[in-house]
Amino acid sequence: MKPTTITVNDARIEAMVEPRTHLADFLREHCRLTGTHLGCEHGVCGACTVLIDGAPARSCIAFAAACDGSEVRTIEGFENDEVMEELREAFTREHALQCGFCTPGMLIAARDVVLRLPDADEKRIRIEMSGNLCRCTGYLGIVHAVHSVIERRRARGAVPASAPRPEPAPAFTAFSPSAAPAASAAPVQEAARASKAGWTSFEESFVVNRPPAEVWRAFADLPMIADCLPGAELAEQDGTTAKGKMVVKLGPIVARFAGSASIERDDSTMSGLIRGAGADGGTGSRTRGEVSYRLAPEGADATRVFVVVEYSLQGALAQFSRSNIAQDLGRRLVGDFAARLNARLGGATARAASAAPALDAGSLIWRWLMERLRRLFGRSG
């Protein structure tokens, strides 16, 4: 048992919590806040969506102990919230609910869209809400309800009830082969703010224990790079374009994204840009993304690789693009890629991913949660 303090709907809650207790169970069983519904319990359906420190998150895949010191707001905590009041009225007016099981999560996700994207049209609303599943309405009423709130607030010049959450911004610009590295911090930040609206982005860097020239040559070897990327399968490539698929496993869901990418490289700056798109027919999920990278010397015989990843995800897996866990998992994936690349350049011949060809996002989530708990308990002990 671990002493845990969470501020829930502005009330400070102190409790002894088992490390394995999920936040959703804590809210429902300890706090008696049963408006948070449990559906898939894999973080897929969105019924359990709450706000954790102001951002929508799946409470069924968050440990209560990992939320120690955080502020959590459930559907019961929006009684006097202006935007939520408008959304509730709109959901009733537009017949955006039937059985109501998904509605608490839908409302919390919709409120985030209204505040974060005050100019969103219906197409954008569909993309943003695609991570919350409904078995009853067919979604048309939900989309109309959210859009009507946005239009009415815009018509009357309403000020958001709370400051919109900014999109994550990388600390350095995405390096294009046609652009030189930024000369100072100011232009870097300007470039970061120019990131595509609504896309998830994160930055990472890692060290490869080989000189930059050798690593740069390795990055041109697309079959080897694909071997180092968990779940990737390269079908064909000609140096500037590539086709293949990425297999992602999340609990009972297995998504096979088939797509293509364009590849640009600049030998003079040792920087590159990869643009790609793909779709999975099974889950109906679609993704677009860009990966920019550059190489820099690290000590005498090593190379630091700076990476910026930006992507947009639609469909059943879209909820993972709207929480901090997506960025943490992306960094974990980059770390796994770096380990495999170091192994290959160090002389390993067997494919590192052969034992697990699919990217097991569920396993990554579990490892992420375990690390969070270890850090939490180590800090509190």
**106 — phi, psi (to 5°)?**
-60, -45
Identify the CA nearest to 176 among candidates 191, 155, 198.
191
Q: Which amino acid is at 213?
A: A
Q: What is the pLDDT of residue 84?
A: 96
Q: Which CATH number fits domain 185-366: 3.30.70.20, 3.30.499.10, 3.30.10.20, 3.30.530.20?
A: 3.30.530.20
Q: Which amino acid is at 201?
A: S
Q: What is the pLDDT of residue 363?
A: 56
**pTM, entire model:** 0.53
CB of 49 closer than 8 Å to CB of 24: no
What residue ranges do the domains of the chain occupy? 2-77, 80-155, 185-366
Q: Which DSSP category does 171 fall into?
A: S
What tens digit of pLDDT does each residue of 257-303 get? 888 999 999 999 999 999 998 888 777 778 888 899 999 999 888 99
Q: How far apart are CA 173 and CA 369, in angstroms?
A: 30
Q: What is the pLDDT of residue 354?
A: 43
Q: What is the pLDDT of residue 361?
A: 53
Three-state secondary structure call for residue 261: strand
User: Which CATH class, in words, describes the domain spanning 2-77?
Assistant: alpha beta
Q: How far apart are CA 119 and CA 116, in angstroms?
A: 9
Q: What is the pLDDT of residue 169?
A: 32
80-155: CATH topology is DNA polymerase; domain 1 (1.10.150)
pLDDT < 70 regions, the chain: 159-198, 249-253, 315-329, 347-381
